[in-house]
Each structure stands twice: as structure tokens, then as C-alpha cells.
Structure 1
């Protein structure tokens, strides 16, 4: 194998500013990203290696807009005109971009690249509440400025009609269907989630750049009450991502030849074997079902197959964990034991969920663990509504044939049932959830159902119907999934009668 065509991670850095309950002075995302990038270069053990960087790839920052974040970072690092790119929105991009960098090095298009990302959403929230314009504090605004909003990010017209427009509403639909297909009742599924997230909180408490430092028991996480209100069944607040954080991370990747030229010790070198990605239909209502992720299954199988590795041989698995259903699906896809903790950081709820760049922190921590203990790791990224999936394999030793990844995702199709609007009649509930208001009362129900002739319908309810849907699920404890109801659909607003 040609060392000039073997991609390796040689430096990682991640930082936070402030912490939950301990706010720090306002710092813009670019400042945090610059600190992380400099830390990654220092971590390589060869500051001169930074001068070899010929590409900077940025995961899109959401809390503050930059027209050319890589260019601003290059100026701060005094790098002469590296190639650059900035990703679209999506939590899969850290893994996908790392795979792209590996492909570039393997093809000889690059010899050293920097992958960066970061957010200052905690600071932005505080500044917004105080009426302070970040630009008045000297934040970069030419180019750049306040974050922009694209209505298309809400979802398809059919999803918007049904009210399925934010992650907190959509992911519970997957969770409840997965539990149903796994033969778990609502209580058993919640217990599984709470146990996993309790273990996540223990990991986060040990991580110096995590947003929280408190360890929570499974009972703490599963119990609804002050500070842990129900958001959308079955997820109380502690089972939701925490995006209001100030965190950034950076990863320095180069060829093995460059690493050796700069004296990077072999035990500080982590090999990027490569990965794979897949994309499901963007509209969740046009997918085959809600109990699996075809894209996740495809990405995992392709990555392991190309590397000729069995899931049982993985020493480390880190799952994207915006909501419990995502790591649950990954562990099921990999066939892992139920007691495996699929995280190295502590997940979005406790380590922190810096929007698109969370998985960069996972890559940094996995790199540290592989340096210390050796082995093989799989790092997973998830974007959209379980839409975009990408995994990468990292190891303390080289793969026998070098880089074996493919940064281009497979575009999957589906043969979903026909979506019907304005339906009235009997229907079977495929999946559902109930959203609660801040007063602790059911506010809106969301239902996906199928008609007797196999068509699909979706919509949302008013507060009275939401309360009835919730009451059905709790008195006695049972899942409404699979139950037959009478449905009346009036422009996406559903009336239900069990």
C-alpha cells in the first residue's frame, strides 16, 4: 500500500464555552471552531503539519450564518487558499465529510485536510432574550449574519398538512412503531430508553467538554415531573436532544506519508478505513414503514461488507442519539447485546447536541480511545428524520487494502402505500404520539393510519382528541398502535373514535 494514499487521523480537538447552569461570556461559533482547530493541530504533535493543510471542510453552523466559514478559518490559521466546502444541514455530515476526505486522500486529491464544526446556540438564545445584536459584539457579519430559515426544512407539503414538521414530533412516531414491532409495551420501551440514557449521563459526566456533568438514574429519566416535562410521548425532556450548547470540534486528517514526514508517532495515528451512506425518501409519509430505517441498514451493511468486518468484531460503537430510537435502531441493525452502551460521549441529551456537528465530537473521542486501547470502531451519523445515514470505520491498525469507503450515499426508493386525504371511515393506527403543552396537558395528537384497502392517512388532532388518545394509552397501559379507530380527516385535522 502506498502511504501517500492511506488516510489517517492525526489530530483532534473539541471545546465548550460555559456549561449547563454556568453560562460563559458570549463567543461566536467561529471563535470556538478556531480554538478546536488549533487544538487539533497541536494534538498531532507537529504544529508544522498545519501548514500542509490543503482543504478545509466545515459542517454547516446553524446558530450564526457564515457565507465562507472555511475561508475565515483559513485566514485565522494563516493557511494559503485551501480548497473548501461547507455542508448543508444534517447530522450525518461529519461522518460523510470524513469519508469524503478519506476518498480524496486515497485518490491523491489531498494530502492533509481539516474537518470542523461548531455552534453557539446557548449564547444566541441568551443574546436574543436580552435583545443584544451579536454583530454589535463584533461577530462576523460580512460575510455572514443572523441564521436564515428555509421553510423547506420543515418537511414535505403532506408532512406540513399533518403537522409533522419538527423532530420532537416525528421521532416518537418511529420510536412507538419500533417498540410495537419489537413486542415491547410502552412502559418496557421507556425503561429501555431510560436505562440507555442513564448510562449516557455517566459517560457525559466524565467528559471534560460535555454540557452537563450530573449523573441521572433510569428512574430520574423516566419519571415525568418538574424539570423533566413530557414533550411528545414517550419522550420526556431528558430523552430529547439538548441543542442549546456552545461547543465545537475539529479533526485533522492526512496521508500516512505526511504523518510520517512530520514525525507523528504510530501510536497517535488512527486509520480511516472508510464508510458508507444511504438516503431514504425525504418525505416520511412516502416511506415503506416506521419500524425500521432502510438507509441505516444499507449504510451499515455496505460499510462492514467493504471492510470485510463482522459487527461482532467492533470494539467501539458510537450512535447518533438525538432521540433514543436512533441508537436503538443501530444496536438492532448491528445485532449488539442489549447491555451495550452505543456512545463514547454521552449523547445529545447530556454531552450536548450541537446540531449538525455532534458527530465530530464522537470522532474526536473515538480517536482518543483507539489511541489508548486500540481496536476497531464504527461511528454513525444521522440527518433529517432518519433520512440521511452515514457510518465510518476507524481503527488503530491499517486495513489490509487501505481505504475501502465510498462517500457517495446510496439513494433508496420506497413503495409506500398511497396517501389519502379527506378520508372518513375505519382505519388501523400504524403509529401515533401525543404532544404536551408546557402546562403538562396533552395538546396535539399525531396519527399515521392505514385504511382497510391499504391506503395511508396522516394528520393531527385538537387538544380534546389528544387527551383521549393519551388516556387510551394509559388507562390501562397499552399501545394504541394496531387498534382500529373511526377517522374523519378534515384538511389534516383528525377526529378519532376508538
Structure 2
């Protein structure tokens, strides 16, 4: 493909708002997103406003903090644009990368000339308004078609089997995967926690230099590991400091076109960031239907294909920005790519320190990496993760056009493989099982509240279940903190045998 058709980022915009969390400072997501779009237009130079009017595609990641019947249409109305293609993505952190890759593919094929990808959240403001008894629609004039929190459907929570086992929250599933992964590579619980803290410490150093970061303070590993009232245990082995922080007001926008159109509009060559392309993949949506809980074949597939298409290896990429909602995601990527912690810190700052605006986070990563490419980085790899390590997408950016033009493969590959047969709790006899993954959730006062278990029965079936809330004995059987989370963890639970019995639709656990 001729270099003139090479898809490029010409405008990047980011907005952080209402960091003081006041009622007066609250802006609805639509306004935040529009503000980010105008920043992106200004970033494109003097013709940015004209480029906005010429936008023929607007796509947006899912917005959770407020509900819209047709957000792209609302945005187009504010921009005086008349796009022929619009799309509002469902829930998923992989979508920003997938949307940018798809936009680049359409531009490269000539299907579109100018595309806008934009999204944002106002979760911090919405929390403030709710506490103050202020109705955003009635009192502040926020959009009421339909308005209110965007609904989360049952499919967004997990499969029926996951829901029956209580594995319906990222805060429960990701630490369980980390326990399985850590055990598979020979780590003790201490080593798993130390490794995760090192990742998030490195991310916090990046966030400290990012003007859009919500919590821009560098933290060391010791601080991240220290459990106390300000850093309580959420689900073992993850204290609050390594959990995504979604209560933010942040928005981002990316303006894309071809190199030819950009130059025609007078955008300087040195401002162009080339979207070489990317790759996507998806594992089984049901975590309990996967062959193992120790990794992500989709993550490996997306990374492999994006790098291979670009003609790069991990150690030749100047900048690697990996999705970091919880430590296990960058840990998996780093081990697979053979990169040290510092090399994974990227340009954004992570969901804890930068902030976790839900499905929009990777728009900020792409914007931050584009700025770094303009500043001298030759290449950048941006990774995005959706679901429960379910859907992955990787995009490669370059300072120069790729020799082969756009080299992306935007349609996700199916990497799902059959897992073991299941053992429903209702069929459970009192029997020993071998733990595959486990976590204990804590209440806000720092006490163990409920245990969650994935294990194999003697005949090889997979059992998944949760204990009765408040069952201290079962929690003690699954915890790696027998002396409490303020003390160092003890031996791993994963790989150990425990005895399990059914209590209605819940389980009771004793050491075997």
C-alpha cells in the first residue's frame, strides 16, 4: 500500500476534571468527551476544526457512568459532523485498541477519510452528586435519553457457572488467576505479592509524570504491600493499592486520517503518528470453561501476531504499554515477552495511579504513547484487555509509516479451547479436592468475609464455588494469611488438598 494511504493519528486529546470532587465541578460524560475532542482538534493544528466537520466515522467505547441512547449521534451533533458510520461498543477494556485498529483499516482501504474515536467517564462526579442528593438529569440538565447509570447485563458479569460460584467481579477473578499463575511458575505467595507490587510501583512513577493522572504520586513497593486502614486487603493477595480505581472523571479522543489527507490539511509531518496496525484474540468468555487459569492464550496470540506483522520483537519496541487493571495482566505479558518490570511501565500510569476509567482506559494509553512517539520513540506497542482476561487487542504505533503500509488484522481470532468437565456444587459429595485457584474477600473493616475456590475433584472435574459469607472456618482453610493480612503470607493454598462439602448452593471448606 502506498505510504500516502498510511493511517495516522493527527490529534490526541485528554481531559481530567473535578479532581476536587465538588458538585459545582461535575460535568456529564458527553461534555467531558466533547471537551477531549476539541483538545484533539487543537492538537491537530489550525485545520483541526475542519477535520472534525469532515469526520465520517465516530466510534466510542462503552460509557458506564451515564447512559445514552446514541452517544455517537449526540457527539456528532455537538461537533456539527455528519458521520456515515457510528458504533457504540459494549463493555470491554479491549475496545479502544480494537476501535482504533478498525478505524485505521477503514482509512487504509479508502472506506473512510477521517475518523474519531472518543470516550470517557464521570464516575467521581456521579458519586459526589449521589451523595449530595443531586439528580444529574433534573437538576443539572444531563442527557436523559435515557440517562442514569448504564445498565450492566448478566452476560457482562460472567457465565451462569461463574455467577453461581460468585466469580462475577474483576476484584475476585483476577487475584484468583494470579494465585494460579504464581503457583505455576514456582512462586510463593510472598513472591507473587512482591512481583505485583513492583509492577504497580513502576506504574506509579509513570503516573507521577502524567498531567492527566488521577493519583499522580510515586509509591514504592513497600508502601504498596503494607496492609492497613488506608490500604486494606480486598481479595487475597491484592490490597487496595493494586486494584483498579474507577472513581475518576477522565476522557480521551483520537483523531485519525490518512497521511495524504493530513498533509493536505496542513498537519506537519513531524506531528503524524502512524498506526501500523494490530491484532485481536478472544478466549472463552466463561473463565471456568478454560483449560487452565494460569494464563491467557488470547494475550499471547494478540502479542505474537501484532509483533510479527510489524516485523518487530518485544526487545526492539521502544515503548510497551500493557493494560494494568490488576498485577496479573502485566505479569503475564512481561513473562511472555521476556521483558523486565520497568520495560512494561509504558506511558500512562496504570489503573490504580493514573485512574481506571473502565472501558476507556486504553484511549489514554494510545494518546500518551502517541505523544511519546512524537517526542522521539520510533515504535510503541499498546495492549488492551477486556472481560476476565478474555478479549485482547494490541496496536503498534510508529514514527514513520510501515514499509508495507497498514499491516493490521483487526478481526479477533478465537483462541478458546475446551476445558475440563464441571462438577456442580449440587453434585458434590464430601470429598478432597486439589486447589487450582483461590481467594478470600475481606470486608471494609479488614475481616475475612467470603472464600472463593476453583479446584479439581479426584476424577478430574472442575469444581467452582464460594463459601457462605461470614464462614470464618472456611475462609481460614483458604487464606494465605493465617495471622491476618498485616502479617506476611504463609504457604500457598493452590496445589493443596482441601475437603469440600455442599451447603445448599455454597461450599464449606476444611483442610484435608
Per the normalisation by structure 1, the TM-score is 0.97
Q: 2:364 aligns with which of 357, 361, 365?
A: 361
Residue number in structure 1 paired with 2:75: 73
* Deviation for aligned residue 1:152: 2.6
User: Which residue pairs with 2:185 in the alignment?
Assistant: 182
Does the CA-based 8 Å contact 1:274-1:404 persist in structure 2? yes
| 2:331 equivalent among 328, 331, 335 | 328
Offset, 1:81: 3.9
Deviates more, 1:34-43 or 1:202-211: 202-211
Tell me what 1:91 maps to. 93
* Equivalent position of 1:479 in the other structure: 492
The equivalent residue for 1:465 is 473
1:383 corresponds to: 386
Question: Could you tell me how far 1:66 is from its partner in structure 2?
Answer: 0.9
Partner of 1:294 in structure 2?
297
Q: Does 1:147 align with 2:154?
A: no
SS at match of 1:275: strand
Residue 105 of structure 1: which of 97, 104, 107 is its match? 107
Distance 2:352 2:244 in 1: 5
Q: Secondary structure at the match of 1:433?
A: strand
Q: What is the alpha-carbon distance in structure 2 between the residues aligned to residue 472 and residue 19 of structure 1?
A: 36
8 Å contact kept, 1:4–1:105: no
User: Are 2:288 and 1:275 aligned?
Assistant: no
Q: Is the 8 A contact 2:235 2:439 kept in 1?
A: yes
User: Are residues 20 and 241 of structure 1, via their aligned partners in 2, closer, same or farther at CA, if it must alter by over 3 Å?
Assistant: farther
Q: How does 1:164-243 map to 2 (within 5 A)?
A: 164-243=167-246
Aligned residues of 2:251 and 2:360 also touching (Cα < 8 A): yes
- Matched residue SS, 2:59: strand
- Give the CA deviation at 1:467: 3.4
Q: Secondary structure at the match of 1:327?
A: helix
CA contact (8 A) 1:177 1:290 kept: yes
Query: Structure 1: which 5+ runs fail to align?
Result: none
Deviation at 1:339, TM superposition (A): 3.9
Q: CA deviation at 1:145?
A: 4.0
Does the 8 Å CA contact 2:277/2:306 hold for their aligned counterparts?
yes
Q: Which residue of 2 aligns with 1:441?
A: 447
C-alpha distance in 2 between matches for 1:420 and 1:181: 23
Instruction: For residue 20 of structure 1, report the CA deviation from its aligned partner.
Output: 6.2
1:122 and 2:128 equivalent?
Answer: no
SS of the counterpart of 2:410? coil
Structure 2 alignment gaps of length 5 or more: 484-488
Q: Which residue of 1 aligns with 2:57?
A: 55
Q: Which residue of 2 aligns with 1:311?
A: 314
Local SS of the residue matching 2:409: coil
**Distance in 2, Cα, partners of 1:224 & 1:458:** 28
Q: How far 1:342 sits from its partner (Å)? A: 2.9
Q: 1:24 to 1:197 in 2, by over 3 A?
A: farther
CA distance in 2 between counterparts of 1:249 and 1:271 reads 18
Matches within 5 A, 1:376-455: 376-421=379-424, 422-424=427-429, 425-455=431-461
1: CA distance, partners of 2:495 / 2:146: 52
1:8 is paired with a residue of what secondary structure?
strand
Residue by residue, what CA displacement relative to the aligned partner does 1:416-451 show, whole Å, maximum 9, x if unpaired?
A: 110012222121001100000111111101010001
Give the match for residue 486 of structure 2. none
CA contact (8 A) 2:440 2:479 kept: no
Deviates more, 1:470-479 or 1:84-93: 470-479
Indicate if the aligned counterparts of 2:236 and 2:479 stay in contact, CA closer than 8 A.
Answer: no
In the comparison of the two structures, how many residue pairs are matched?
A: 498
1:347 is aligned to 2:367 = no
1:489 positional shift: 2.8
Decide whether the 8 Å contact of 1:473 with 1:479 is kept in 2.
no
**How far apart, CA to CA, are the structure 2 residues paired with 1:423 and 1:439?**
33
TM-score (ref. length: structure 2): 0.94
Tell me, yes or no, if structure 1 residue 133 matches structure 2 residue 141.
Answer: no
Tell me by how many angstroms 1:141 deviates.
1.1
Distance 1:276 1:34 in 2: 28
> Of residues 246, 252, 274 in structure 1, which corresponds to 2:255?
252
Deviations 1:201-243 (A, max 9, x none): 1211211111112222211110110111100001111110000
